[in-house]
Structure formats: C-alpha cells, structure tokens
Structure 1
Amino acid sequence: MTRARIITLVVLVVLPILFLVGTGAYHLWSTGWAFWAWWPMGLSLALAYVLAWRWQKQIRRRQAEDPEHLHWTDRDRLAWKTVEERVKAADAIESDKFGQPRFYYDTAEELAGELAHIYRPDATDPVGLVTVPEILTVIELASHDLNELARTYVPGSHLMTVDHWRTARKAIDWYRQASNVYWLASAVFDPIKTAVRYAAAKYGMGKPLELFQQNVILWFYSAYVRRLGFYLIELYSGRLKVGTERYRELMKEHGMEPGGPAVVVTPEPRETASPGPPEPPKPARPKGVSIVLVGQVKAGKSSLVNALLGERKAATDVLPLTREVTKYELVSPGVPAHLTLLDTAGYGRAGADADNLEETAGAVQASDLLLLVTHARNPARKADADFYARLRQWFKDRPHLRFPPVLVVLTHVDLLTPAMEWAPPYDWAGGTRTKERSMADAVAGAKESFPDVNGLVPCCAAEGKVWGVEEELLPAIVALLGEAKAVSLLRCLHAEADEGKVKKVFGQLWAAGRKAIDLVWSGLPR
C-alpha cells in the first residue's frame, strides 16, 4: 500500500471523529452544559493521572528488579550497575536530545568508556581494547534486538519515517500553543468558568498525556542503553570473540536468550549409569550439567555418588584410591538434564595443600555445580570452611571466571542424636521428633560456617539407609539447573574464543591471498 493511500484512509477515519468532537463541544457550549460536563471529565482525567503515575512507578520498579543474567561474574554485575545508573539518570536529560541521532552515538561512546574502565582500569580508549569483528558483533546484536523491540511494541514503526516522528513531536507543541490561545480567548468572555476548566484540563488531561509521551521516549532510551550495555559487557568480558552466529547458538544450546527467560528443557528417559568418559552429546539433546563433589576424606562423597547413581560404582575405601578426578554419568527421570558427576580426592582435617587446592579448583572450573560434602557430626568443619574460602579466593583472583552455585550436603545424618534411631522419612525443616531437631540444628550450624552458599541439604548415603537423596538433594539440584547451565555457557564461550586462534589467522591469510590472486588474474590482458 502506497503512502498516499495510507494517508487517505487515516484522514477518512479521523474526519468523522473530529466532526463529532466539534459538534459535541459546540452543543455543550451553546446549551450551557459545558461547565457541568467539564467536572466529570476533569475527575476522570485526574484519575487517569493518578493511575498513570502509579503504573509508571510500578513499571520502573519492575525494570529495576529485572533478574541478572545468570552466566555473569561479579565483575559483570558491577558493570551492569553502571548501565542501570545511566538509565535512572534519563529523567534529567533534555527531551530534545532524544530526537537527535548524535545523542545516541555519544551515549554509546560514553557508556563504552565507563564499562571498559571496569575491565581494564588503565584503558584510555574503549575501542582500542577489542577487535573490529567484535565491535561489529556488538552493533549487529544490539541493532537486531532493538529492531525486534520497535517492530513488536511501537505501533506503525514499520510505516513512519524519522521525519514523521519529528513532525509528530512538533504537532504536540503546536497543540499546546493552540490550547493556550483558546484558554486566553475563553478567559476574556467568562474568566471564572474558564479558570475552573483550565485547572481541570491542565491537571486532568495534560499530565496523563505528558506522562504517556515521557514514558514512550524513556522506554526506547532505556531499552537502547540496556541492550547496548549488555552486549558491551559481553564484549569486554571476551565472550563475543566467537562471533555473532556462534554466540547465539551457544546461548540457545544452554537454554538462554539475551534479556529473556530461560528455555525449558524436557526430561530425558533414564539411562544406565556407568563410570568413565562421557559419550559425545547428540545435537538434539540438551546440554549436560557437570557436578563436582569436594570434601574431606571419609565425608561420604563416594557413598553419595553411589546413592545418586542408584548402584555401587564408586569405591568407598577408608583412604582415597587416587588424587585424580573420577567421572560418572547419570540421567534421572526427575532431572531434566544429563548429569556428569566429578568425584575429587578428599583432604584431611588439616585442610588441603596447595596441590590439592589447585587440582580441585581446576575441577570446579570445569564444572557447573559444586557439592561440598561434609560430615553432619564432624566437629572439624573449620577445614571445610577454610578450604571453601580459599577456593572462592582462587576464583576471585580470576575475575573472568564465575564461581558455580554451591550446595552443602550434610551426610551421615543417621548418626545424629539419637544415633540408634533411624525411621525415615524425616521432616527436618518443621518436624518435632528428636532426630528431626538434630538435623535442623546441624543445618543451622553449617549455615553459620557457609553463609553464602545456595542451599544446605541433609541426607544419608549409607548402604541400606539411603534417605534425602531423591527427597532433598535432587530437587535442590534441579532448582539450580538454570544457574548451572549459565556457568556452562560462560565456560564454553571462553573456551571457544581461545581455541583455534592461529588456525583462524592462517585461514584469513589464505582467503586474502586467493582474493588478491583473483584480482590480479582478472586484471591481466586477455
């Protein structure tokens, strides 16, 4: 449909409405009902103002409470606060600037400088830190998202040009000037009634329209800053080195969309668990989740692995058989993901040595979820707390890595007071039996030692006494699958960005050489 036909249809629709408005206003004025009709209209518009103010406040509160992206590190969250501060400061910006393209370019440049300083405090040029393909990736991803937002939520965005939007803004100013002339002329003939109607119109109709216009403009500006800020954070963290297409593929494979909810993964049928290296994943199946178990010697890690697998696969000797990490595969009908269990060597009551810490930290870095296994009756929990603190510091010294979510698993709860009683099931959170209160006290004590973990789960993994694994532990793991997949995504982005760099350079040189030969060959005389 051509522009002229669209304008014709709009005029034909608007003219009858304007005619009815004009004749109705004239009738109210000629019959003397205008003054009395203005009061209910003014009250209605005043109510609209109150509702607009409240709803706008709720929208901004929800925007401020948007969940953070799970694959982000602490440094990324700090950078996101800078983005949100710029969004909150939008109210102080002059409205005329929102219609200037240069303003958005300057905003992008300033935001890039602020975020680059967080990742590289010594940086003076935000562009000099990254490659040209990475910059183009940011532009492509942010432009795509903003295009989708505009097409979906802005009526007529596919029809109106930039000049149309500017004309619409001018039309609002013209309306205000014409309205002022009307009120001035009306005040000459009837100043009292005009003053009353003017107050009702100004605070009834004017404020809702002003809030609506302001909200639309700030909505687009906020979306622009947030989308651009998100991808700039991904840029300076090194996660866009994989390129646009691969970045989107990895996000979808791990059940995530930038700025959107996690993708729900359907459960898989149960498979036979077996130790050894995992099979190559099939493209149609969801990505698995790696779970690493750490803890002291005799804490019950191997027994817990056997309880999770449902059969005796891990050795439960008094001393660890090897310092290496042992892998086990598990697919449970109650867990919508393929689980890889990484059983690490235990450490003594004196804590882990430097080699053990480095080895365990490497296993944790390669995992998506950490199970810190501790004895429910073990008074030497300080060794676990010290090891956990050293492990967190190891990740803190490497800000590009993300510490995985942590579940503290309290084993051997069957030995809690009364030790001779074992009659599951137990309601440790709200039960009144002595054993249940002992479990609650053990969980509370562990909470003091590990205040920042994602959860604490009591269970028993002893053969013939298994309890709490399916009832408590597996549901807790399922609740953290989204965050665990985010850790897996972060690891994949960094791994793929670092591999094949030299190979890619040779490929680019080969392609450039072939292109140069083709140009020379095509320029030779025939």
Structure 2
Amino acid sequence: MKAPLPSVNPLRLLVFILMLLPLLALLGLGFFWLWQSGNLQYWLIAMVVCGGLGYGLQQWLVRQERQLLMDSSTEPNPEWPPSADEVWQRVEALAETCNPQDWPIEEGAWVMELGQKTLETVAHCYYPDVEKPLLELTVPHTLLIIERASRDLRQDVAEKIPFSNRLTIGDLFRLQRWKAKAERLFTIYRAGSLLINPVNALLSEAWRHLRERSFDQARDELHRWFLRAYVCKVGYYAIDLYSGRLPLGDEEFVTAPTPESKADLGQVEETAKPAIEPLRILVLGRSNSGKSSLINALFGTLTTATDVLPDTTQTLKPFVLSREGLTQALIFDSPGCDSALFDRQQMLAAAGNADLILWVTPANRPDRQTERDCLDALRATQAARTDRRAPPMLVVASFADRLRPLNEWQPPYDLAHPASSKATNIAAAVRVIATDLVVAVEQVIPVCLLPGKVYNVDDTLWAAILNHQDKALRVRLMRCLDARKRAEDWVMLRRQLAGAGRFVRDLPEILGKRTGQ
C-alpha cells in the first residue's frame, strides 16, 4: 500500500516561525531606521530603480529564451511530397492553439489526449471521407510514431529545461499539493504586514506583482513551447508515415540499391557495383539532338565498355557515371521523342524512376511542338503524383555553334553581356527555348558537343548538375523509401506467417502442458 504524503507538523511550523521572526524584526527595524534618519526616500528610489532594472532584465531573458525555443522548434521536412505541405500547416495551426491552462502538465491525461488530437488532424487530411480516420493506422505504426516523438521530445526537454533530469513526477504532485497551503500561509503574512507597516507592505505588494508577472510569463512560455513541441513532433512523424517515409524496420539501410537499379547495373559491364542506390539521370529529347554525344561529353573520357553511338538507341540504355563531386550515378540514353521507337508510356515510367532529367534540344531548330507535347505530358504526370516531388530538370541547348554567324566560333561567350553577334544570338536562342518549352531561362544551358570542341559542358552544365544534386538526392530518397516499403510489406508478411505457423505447430504441446498441470 502506498504511504500517504506527510501532513504539517505544528511543532515544525512553530520552529520555522521562531527562526523567521528575527529576520522579520530586522526588516521592520531597518525600515524604521531609514525613516528616522531621513534616508527612506533614497531607499525607495533605489528599490524602484533596482526593481525596474530587474524587471527589464527578466523581460529580456524571457525574449531570449523564447527565441532559443523557437530556434529549436520542429521544421517541416524538405523531403516530404507536396501533399504534406498543407498537412503541416494544419499541425502548426493546432500547435498554436495549445493553451497552457487547457493542458496542465501535472495531469498525465494530456499526453494521450493531445497526441490523439494531433494524429486525428493528420489522418483526416489523408482520409477526408473516412468517419474515423485514426483507425486507419496500424498498431505497429502508431507505436512507432509515439516512440519517435517521445524520443525527440525527451532530448529537447533534457537539453533545454533546467533540472528536468532531477525533478520527478512525484515532485510535481507534491508541489501542487503544498501550493494551496503555502498560499494560505503567505496570505496571512501579507495581511499582518499590512497592519504593522502599511507603506512597506504596499511597496512589497507592488514588487511581488512585478516579480510574479515576470516569472509567470517565463513559466507559461516554457509550458507553451513544450505543448507545441509535442504536437509538432507527433504531427511530424504522422506525416512521415502517411507520406511513406516511416518504415517499420530501422536496421536496413535506407538507400540500398533498389530492384530496378540492380537490374540496370546488371546490364553494365562494371566490376565494382555501388553499395548504395545510384542517382538515376535520364537524358531525353528529340532525335539527332545530341543526346548520346552529351553523355560522351559528360564522361570526358568514355569509361563504358561499348562506345555510345549517336541516334541508334532503341531502349533505355544505362551507363555508370562517376565524376568528382557527384554521387555515383546511372545515366540513361533514350530514343528520340519524335522517332518511331519512342514509347511515351516508357518515357513517363522512366521519368518516374529518375532523380534528374536532362532534356536535349537543338538550339538551331525552331520546331519544338513535339518536344513541348512530351514535356507537357511529363509535367502533367508529375503534378498528378502528390506523393512525390518532381525531379529537377535541365534543358541542354545543343548545336549552339550552328547559330549565326555560322563561320564564327570563338568561345567563351558572355551571354549576360554579349559583346558579339554570336553571343547575342545564343542568348536570344536560350530565351526562345525557355519560352517554347515553358522552363526558366536559368534552366537552359547552351553547349557545343563537337569532338575536340566541347563547350560549356565541364563548367556551366556540370556546375548546374552539382547545384541540383541535393534536390536529386531527395528524390532518390523517396524512391528508395517507396521501394523499401514495398519490400518491407512482403518481408513482414513472411515473418508474420512464419510466426503464426510456429504458434500453430506448438499449440498442441502448449495445451498439453496446461492440461497436465
């Protein structure tokens, strides 16, 4: 049986009062001496100045702590798909409505109630037509969300709340129980002070009011931050789950090669296979636009076993691309989008598994309607997939050397401030291509792919590829998580069936032992 909390011992209370009386007498005598010596006004001025400075310093500390807590707040994951943006806004709106008076920390029920409210907010966004969307969560995933949120919140509390590693839950309950009694005793003391020394009591009341206001504000800020942090943590991992970023198995390597990349790597005559999923770079464009020549130029010195011949690609053909600064990648050559070998569905499927797309278009050809149609179909398919972010795309304007004047070719050219008619025409072609294909001008990079005269590939184009590498890695991560989740479903099913089979096999023996007992 749990022992009751100890009550107030009258003798101990008398000892405490007797020890406090000399201090109270000293305060009274000191105030009387100040009044008798004529220094009372100076003491009052000093008390007001010190009180104002202390209050101002306390307000500054509150703002500083508030900024510190805001800096440590949970941020949305940039790797989430577009569909998660609105969900995160709703989670933040819920966090802003958390009032410390509505969710007292000393009452343990707030943890489950506020967590359930957060999960329902997220679940309703993904299952708007379901009456109870929270029931769509599996038990293991629900436990995983609570586990992850509790782990992160534990770290934040341990690092940012003083004495959190010392105060126990019992201390909070004991403080709450003694709070009412302490307030009654303090009220008696305040009434006695008012009768004995009214002026000093009034000044003390004003000072106490300022002090309590400052400390209450700091306490409320900390309480409010704790509630918001809890809501954001639970909402963060709930969105992770519904967006496919929260698999159950933590022991597996997230970016392990996917089955698609393993099959593609099997077509490449390479002795060393990458231990992680390579970036998938897809080269698209019309026939005779220089797609294969661009791949050759990106390699610098061709490292594949078979030379890449222009305009002979019948299917997607992979090559391993390894260059300094770039995560090992698979780059795919493809048939022209205007050729008889082109399969639009194959192109859309390949683009769905790509992390970066290079679209090659001749700068000297104005007829781009076929390319525009293919790009519009690609963009429409990507926009329909709200569970994935579209891979970044760069448009490579080939044959820049064939623009007028034809006989002039003296690179490099400054397209921002063209000083020659060739540079002016190249800059104009870049703007026209951007308009025709509905892309940003910054995404169009003019190049020359002639053997021995390769221009703007190793500098501008390669810098653009590296600049988009982070976005491409995020797309790769989502691909790997999707593949891992599909594989995990089968692995979990096999484990569950195996466990159920063992239970059925051992059931007669278990029943026999119980019967024998």
**Class of the TM-score when normalised by the shorter of the 2 chains:** 0.7 to 0.9
Do structure 1's residue 245 and structure 2's residue 245 form an aligned pair?
no
Q: What percent of counterpart residues are identical? A: 25
For residue 210 of structure 1, what is the aligned residue in structure 2?
A: 216
Task: Provide the rounded CA distance (Å) in 1 between the counterparts of 2:193 and 2:488.
Answer: 77
Do structure 1's residue 338 and structure 2's residue 344 form an aligned pair?
no
Do structure 1's residue 463 and structure 2's residue 451 form an aligned pair?
yes
For residue 450 of structure 1, what is the aligned residue in structure 2?
A: 438
The unaligned stretches of length 5 or more in structure 2 are: 1-19, 35-39, 258-264
Do structure 1's residue 291 and structure 2's residue 281 form an aligned pair?
yes
Do structure 1's residue 479 and structure 2's residue 467 form an aligned pair?
yes
State the Cα distance separating 1:517 from its structure 2 match: 3.5
For 2:45, give the aligned amino acid. Answer: W
For residue 92 of structure 2, what is the aligned residue in structure 1?
A: 84
State the Cα distance separating 1:472 from its structure 2 match: 1.7
Worse-matched range after superposition: 337-346 or 125-134: 125-134
For residue 367 of structure 2, what is the aligned residue in structure 1?
A: 380
Match for 1:70 among 61, 73, 78? Answer: 78
DSSP-derived class of the 1:483 partner: helix
The unaligned stretches of length 5 or more in structure 1 are: 1-17, 255-272
Worse-matched range after superposition: 302-311 or 38-47: 38-47
Is contact 2:100-2:224 (8 Å) kept? no
Is contact 1:412-1:461 (8 Å) kept? yes
Do structure 1's residue 365 and structure 2's residue 372 form an aligned pair?
no
Is contact 1:294-1:371 (8 Å) kept? yes
Do structure 1's residue 47 and structure 2's residue 39 form an aligned pair?
no
For 2:400, give the aligned amino acid. Answer: V
Is contact 2:190-2:201 (8 Å) kept? no
- Taking the TM superposition and a 5 Å limit, the aligned residue runs for 1:12-161 are 31=34, 32=40, 33-48=42-57, 51-52=60-61, 55=64, 58=67, 68-90=76-98, 92=99, 94=101, 96-161=103-168
Say if 1:135 and 1:374 are closer, same or farther in 2 by CA, change over 3 A.
Answer: same
Superposed CA offset, 1:315-357 (max 9, x none): 453xx3234111111111232x112112222213xxx999733
Superposed CA offset, 1:447-493 (max 9, x none): 55435798443333332222222212222222222222221121122
Say if 1:153 and 1:442 are closer, same or farther in 2 by CA, change over 3 A.
Answer: farther
Is contact 1:299-1:374 (8 Å) kept? yes
DSSP-derived class of the 2:396 partner: strand
Task: Provide the rounded CA distance (Å) in 2 between the counterparts of 1:72 and 1:34.
Answer: 62
Worse-matched range after superposition: 321-330 or 354-363: 354-363
How many residues in Structure 1 have an aligned counterpart in Structure 2?
Answer: 474
CA RMSD for the aligned pairs?
A: 4.2
Superposed CA offset, 1:99-145 (max 9, x none): 43322322222222222232222222234323322223223322322
Is contact 2:124-2:134 (8 Å) kept? no
Say if 1:110 and 1:417 are closer, same or farther in 2 by CA, change over 3 A.
Answer: farther
- Taking the TM superposition and a 5 Å limit, the aligned residue runs for 1:292-371 are 292-311=282-301, 315=308, 317=310, 320-335=311-326, 337-348=327-338, 356-371=343-358
DSSP-derived class of the 2:236 partner: helix
Superposed CA offset, 1:251-294 (max 9, x none): 7x79xxxxxxxxxxxxxxxxxx99826667454xx542111122
Task: Provide the rounded CA distance (Å) in 1 between the counterparts of 2:267 and 2:26.
Answer: 83
DSSP-derived class of the 2:229 partner: helix
State the Cα distance separating 1:415 from its structure 2 match: 3.5
Say if 1:183 and 1:35 are closer, same or farther in 2 by CA, change over 3 A.
Answer: farther
For residue 268 of structure 2, what is the aligned residue in structure 1?
A: 276
For 2:56, give the aligned amino acid. Answer: L
Is contact 1:275-1:329 (8 Å) kept? no
State the Cα distance separating 1:56 from its structure 2 match: 6.3
For 1:69, give the aligned amino acid. Answer: N
Superposed CA offset, 1:363-396 (max 9, x none): 1121212222333344334543442232122133
Say if 1:376 and 1:88 are closer, same or farther in 2 by CA, change over 3 A.
Answer: farther
Q: Which has the larger radius of gyration?
A: 2
Say if 1:227 and 1:152 are closer, same or farther in 2 by CA, change over 3 A.
Answer: same
For 1:391, give the aligned amino acid. Answer: L
Match for 1:235 among 229, 234, 241? Answer: 241
DSSP-derived class of the 2:452 partner: coil
DSSP-derived class of the 2:133 partner: coil
**TM-score by structure 2 length?**
0.76
For residue 262 of structure 2, what is the aligned residue in structure 1?
A: none
State the Cα distance separating 1:24 from its structure 2 match: 11
Say if 1:46 and 1:356 are closer, same or farther in 2 by CA, change over 3 A.
Answer: farther
Match for 1:410 among 397, 400, 405? Answer: 397
For 1:509, give the aligned amino acid. Answer: L
Say if 1:425 and 1:501 are closer, same or farther in 2 by CA, change over 3 A.
Answer: same
For 1:473, give the aligned amino acid. Answer: L
Is contact 2:359-2:393 (8 Å) kept? yes
Task: Provide the rounded CA distance (Å) in 2 between the counterparts of 1:80 and 1:306.
Answer: 44
Task: Provide the rounded CA distance (Å) in 2 between the counterparts of 1:185 and 1:438.
Answer: 93
Task: Provide the rounded CA distance (Å) in 2 between the counterparts of 1:430 and 1:54.
Answer: 49
State the Cα distance separating 1:235 from its structure 2 match: 1.8
For residue 10 of structure 1, what is the aligned residue in structure 2?
A: none
